[in-house]
Amino acid sequence: MALPHGVFDYLQSEYGLECECFASPLNRYAKIQNYCSQFKDTDESFGSLGSFFEFWPEEGAFECNPPFVEECMIQNIQHVLQCLKKAEEAKKSLMFFIIVPAWKDDCESYRLTTENDYKVLEIEMKKYEYFYRNGMAHQKDYTVMDVRSDSLMLVLQSSEAKKEHEIDGEKFEKEIRSKWGIESEEYMKGKRESNPNRKRQRQRQRQNGYEKDNYHERQRQSDYYRKRSRQNEYERDNYRSHKRSGQDENHEDNGSKRLEYSGHHYSKSVEEGHSH
């Protein structure tokens, strides 16, 4: 998810926004010159500065929209505060626009982001009243996303940044809401261009995937039972073969015993005849 282009344009024109701290080659706003991403080894060829956590800006304006995972948001604000501390010591103008979910209850990242000496402004956007842009740039028919939870934008500045870019809170909030809200032209245009059958297509894709999985499962079961059938047939043939060979051996043994017995009986009869 990404901020609307209108918000980026406003932050860039008014405050010189120059970098997205959490982006990727496919999920970034082209008008913003620089961006950080997770995989420097592959993304550097596409202009990435590498991981934000290994990037130490000294001055300028930066947008931080980290993944909405508590551990990542804690790491983000800790890094931001360290950068601001260094800028404060060096008397540099440095500012961050941070976008995070409004997780206020027992949330360490929220406490760290709001309870510090650098925060100058906090704007809360209510669910269903604003939108994000879809980060998958290849999906042209699905550019805007309705949001079912609250989000925050917080502005953190060093002392020099407060002097250089003094923020009128009321005006700033009005501009952000007008460009981030669902009344904006960007949202309306995105909805008009969205494919009305997209939901139905996703349901059909899921159904096709389910049917495909069932088909493969039936194939696996069929192969399994076919192998079992061949194995059982092989075992039956072996059993019959062993049984026949055992019967033949018993038959030969019984025949030899009968011959021995009949021979013995014959010899005994002859001896008795001679005796008479």
Closest by CA position to 135, among listed 61, 6, 27, 256: 27
What does pTM read for this prediction? Answer: 0.69
Given a cut of 80, is residue 76 above it in pLDDT? Answer: yes
17: in domain: yes
Q: How far apart are CA 20 and CA 64, in angstroms?
A: 6
Together in a domain, 174 and 46: yes
Last residue of a domain, one of 131, 160, 183: 183
Domain ranges, residue 201:
195-223
Calculate helix-pair angle for 5-15, 169-180, nearest 10 degrees: 150
**What beta strand segments (E) does the chain contain?**
17-20, 34-35, 60-64, 94-101, 119-125, 131-133, 144-146, 151-157
Q: Give how many domains the chain has, as a whole number.
A: 2
Rounded to an integer, the average pLDDT of 25-40 is 89
CATH number at residue 15: 3.40.50
Give the model confidence (pLDDT) of 123-135 as tens digits: 999 999 999 988 7
Band of residue 259 on the pLDDT scale cut at 50, 70, 90: very low
56: in domain: yes
% of residues, the chain, pLDDT over 90: 53
Rounded to an integer, the average pLDDT of 23-45 is 89
45: in domain: yes
Band of residue 5 on the pLDDT scale cut at 50, 70, 90: very high
**DSSP 3-state of 47:** coil
